[in-house]
């Protein structure tokens, strides 16, 4: 029996090898054809190569244990990690997803008054029932959980960051008893910690912003069985992004037009990169710097980002988006453009930051978000396929060379960030 078992294993291995060889050969022929006969940009050829490269890897993921030293989990951390393995809810209401659906990821912390508005806006989005909504939680908060559990308009999967500083009360990545504070001298105070470039020690509530985003990206693209083989675009939104009814249909149009209208664009955006702007109102598509409100990209772009894990994790800024603008995107070697419509399909609202949750003595309270008005033109798709593209060649905002705002100097945070990048073992044949 053992000999027959080995023979079957060898046969299976040979079949995998043969399939990889065929895919590799097909990918090479495709790239040669594009290069010789198709008048497309180098970025399209590059993407074709990377797509062929990704097909050479079998989708055999597992939680990596070697060379990754994740913090010791407490009971809550373990329970939340197990919950991440549960299937989506509402499968009885929406048993099948639409073909080529765009997965939506909503990442939340602890601002329930905002989240209610966002969930209500999502319930009015045309096409929302066709796709999967993944809600990524930074910590566990009962009121936030109740709001998400009440969603009935689409498939919903909740994931919880099991290493969020908010669920570790007495140990890293939360507050450790021996942690340095403020501008403590580690030698004189005999405390633990590495200060940032401005001499300040870590604040768990602040570093959780960057940790959550990076953990979420790695988990959604490479960890979850629902999305780790997803080759299309994934849309990312936050708990203070009001989504217009036409957002999903507009995004479908943008992702279809992007390879033709803007082959050098890395992503599609629902809103301008200027968070205060609502669009130009022109009859033209817009290509500009990738914004942080309603942004969508595919696996090819994620692979490029993931390869820059060292740069991302070493940059001394607790903001994930500034880190991307100041160090990751510039390392790609060319401007990183995103395609959007001339009218916004999402807006950032409110004044309370992510670190200003509702469980604090001085919690941020904001009632100025209840007057959001949606015009009739924004209730239906308002992007035309025959429009040209206006390119903003000069990209404003944070650039290469910016030092960062700090808050990310502790070597423990940087190592945890790198460990998140290596959590999931993508084993090639």
Q: Residues annotated as binding site?
A: 138, 240, 348
Q: How far is CA 104 from CA 64, 132, 175, 192, 258, in A?
A: 26, 6, 32, 39, 19
Other Cβ atoms closer than 10 A to 171: 15
Alpha carbon 139 to chain centroid, angstroms: 17
Angle (CA) 88-117-236 rounded to 5° is 50
Q: What's the CA gap between 40 and 298, in Å, rounded? A: 19
Cβ partners under 8 Å of residue 57, min gap 6:
426, 427, 428, 429
Task: Give the tokens for residue 65.
Answer: 């244990």
Straight-line distance from the first to the last Cα atom of the chain, in angstroms, rounded to the nearest whole number: 25
Binding-site members for substrate are 138
Cis peptide before 327 (omega within 30 of 0): no
Other Cβ atoms closer than 10 A to 132: 22
Contact 314, 414 (CB under 8 A): yes
Binding-site members for Mn(2+) are 240, 348
Strand, helix or coil at 114?
helix
Contact 138, 205 (CB under 8 A): no
Contact 60, 427 (CB under 8 A): yes
Contact 390, 285 (CB under 8 A): yes
Q: What's the CA gap between 222 and 225, in Å, rounded? A: 8
Hey, which bits of 231-345 come out as E strands? Answer: 234-238, 241-243, 265-269, 285-289, 295-297, 337-340
Q: What's the CA gap between 384 and 368, in Å, rounded? A: 33
Phi and psi based region of residue 425 (left: phi greater than 0; alpha: psi -120 to 50; beta: remaining): beta
Q: What's the CA gap between 163 and 76, in Å, rounded? A: 10
Alpha carbon 236 to chain centroid, angstroms: 6
């Amino acid at each position: 029996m053992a000999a027959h078992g080995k023979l079957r294993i060898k046969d299976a291995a040979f079949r995998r090898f043969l399939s990889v060889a065929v895919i590799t050969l097909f990918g090479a022929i495709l790239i040669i054809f594009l290069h010789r006969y198709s008048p497309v940009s180098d970025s399209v050829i590059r993407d074709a190569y990377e797509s062929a490269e990704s097909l050479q890897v079998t989708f055999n993921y597992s939680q990596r244990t070697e060379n990754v030293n994740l913090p010791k989990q407490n009971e809550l951390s373990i329970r939340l990690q197990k919950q991440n393995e549960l299937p989506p809810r509402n499968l009885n209401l929406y048993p099948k997803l639409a073909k080529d659906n765009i997965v939506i990821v909503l990442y939340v912390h602890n601002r329930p008054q905002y989240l209610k508005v966002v969930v209500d806006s999502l319930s009015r989005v045309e096409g929302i029932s066709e796709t999967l909504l993944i809600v990524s939680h930074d910590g566990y908060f009962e009121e936030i959980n109740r709001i998400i559990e009440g969603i009935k308009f689409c498939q919903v999967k909740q994931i919880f960051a099991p290493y969020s500083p908010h669920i570790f009360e007495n140990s890293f990545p939360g507050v450790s008893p021996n942690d340095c504070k403020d501008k403590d001298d580690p030698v004189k105070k005999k405390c633990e910690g590495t200060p940032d470039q401005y001499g300040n020690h870590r604040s768990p509530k602040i570093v959780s912003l960057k940790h959550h985003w990076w953990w979420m990206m790695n988990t959604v693209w490479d960890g979850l069985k629902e999305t780790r083989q997803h080759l299309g675009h994934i849309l990312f939104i936050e708990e203070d992004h009001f989504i217009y009814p036409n957002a999903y249909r507009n995004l479908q149009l943008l992702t279809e037009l992007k390879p033709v209208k803007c082959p050098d664009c890395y992503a599609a955006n629902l809103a301008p990169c200027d968070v205060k702007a609502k669009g130009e109102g022109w009859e033209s598509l817009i290509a500009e710097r990738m914004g942080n409100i309603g942004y969508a990209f595919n696996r090819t772009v994620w692979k490029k980002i993931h390869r820059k894990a060292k740069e991302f994790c070493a940059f001394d800024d607790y903001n994930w988006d500034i880190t991307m603008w100041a160090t990751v995107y510039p390392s790609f070697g060319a401007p990183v453009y995103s395609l959007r419509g001339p009218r916004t399909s999402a807006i950032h609202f409110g004044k309370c930051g992510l670190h200003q949750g509702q469980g604090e003595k001085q919690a941020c309270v904001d009632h100025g978000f209840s007057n959001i008005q949606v015009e009739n033109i924004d209730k239906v798709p308002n992007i035309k396929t025959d429009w040209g593209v206006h390119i903003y060649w000069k990209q404003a905002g944070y650039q290469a060379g910016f030092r960062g705002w700090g808050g990310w100097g502790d070597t423990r945070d940087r190592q945890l960030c790198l460990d998140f990048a290596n959590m999931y073992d993508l084993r090639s044949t």
